[in-house]
Amino acid sequence: MASHQALLIIDYTNDFVATEGALTCGAPGQALAPAIVTLADSFHQANDWVLFPTDVHTPHDPYHPESKLFPPHNVRDTWGRELFGPVKSWYDQHAAADNVWLFDKTRYSSFAGTDLDLRLRERHVDTLHLAGVCTDICVLHTAVDAYNLGYQLVIHRDAVASFNQAGHDWALTHFETALGATIVP
């Protein structure tokens, strides 16, 4: 595979998107599903990388900083951690493909404590397309780390959302003005 780009679909789980989710974006997050599936199809068909960095926790972990900030969410082996709706269906249909993989992350950034940077560099990826939730938390922290590691960034505006509209809007501006990201529909 000679692709130099990857799509990261960040934290698109039931807990972050479904109406009953523990820390949900609700309707704004749910509305992203068609755009995310279209992006995943496009990247997969072009033999580009489709990655699912997915938040995972143990409940009430006294050592994890998020335990003091948020209710338990994305607990391993629970419905809340499963990918949401049509994106779950897409992943289930494509999980065996060489250019699709889901991996655990335990911090906001998809790079913190993971081998993502190593795996991307092995594959000569230099451009990251970001989608998922939350725009101003996990997508933002992933983008900042990617920028600091020298990746080019493309943010898909119609494929990111947050439970905080002001934070979402701020993050979109920050991606462009402070990280040099390209913002596309």
Q: How many structural domains comprise the chain?
A: 1
pLDDT at 67: 86
Which pLDDT tens digit goes with each residue over 85-103?
999 999 999 999 999 999 9
Does residue 48 form part of some domain? Answer: yes
pLDDT band at 1 (very low <50, low <70, confident <90, very high): very low
Q: Tell me what the pLDDT averaged over the chain comes to.
A: 96
Task: Give how far Cα 110 sits from Cα of 68, 93, 116, Å.
Answer: 20, 23, 7
Residue 151 is part of a domain; what is its CATH number? 3.40.50.850
24-83 pLDDT tens trace: 999 999 999 999 999 999 999 999 999 999 999 998 888 999 888 998 999 999 999 999
Give residue 134's domain range: 6-184
In a domain, 111, yes or no: yes
Pair 88, 38: CB distance under 8 Å: no
Q: What is the pLDDT of residue 60?
A: 81
Decide if 1 is inside a domain: no
Check pLDDT > 90 for residue 10.
yes
In a domain, 15, yes or no: yes
pLDDT digits (tens, 9 = 90+) for 120-172: 999 999 999 999 999 999 999 999 999 999 999 999 999 999 999 999 999 99
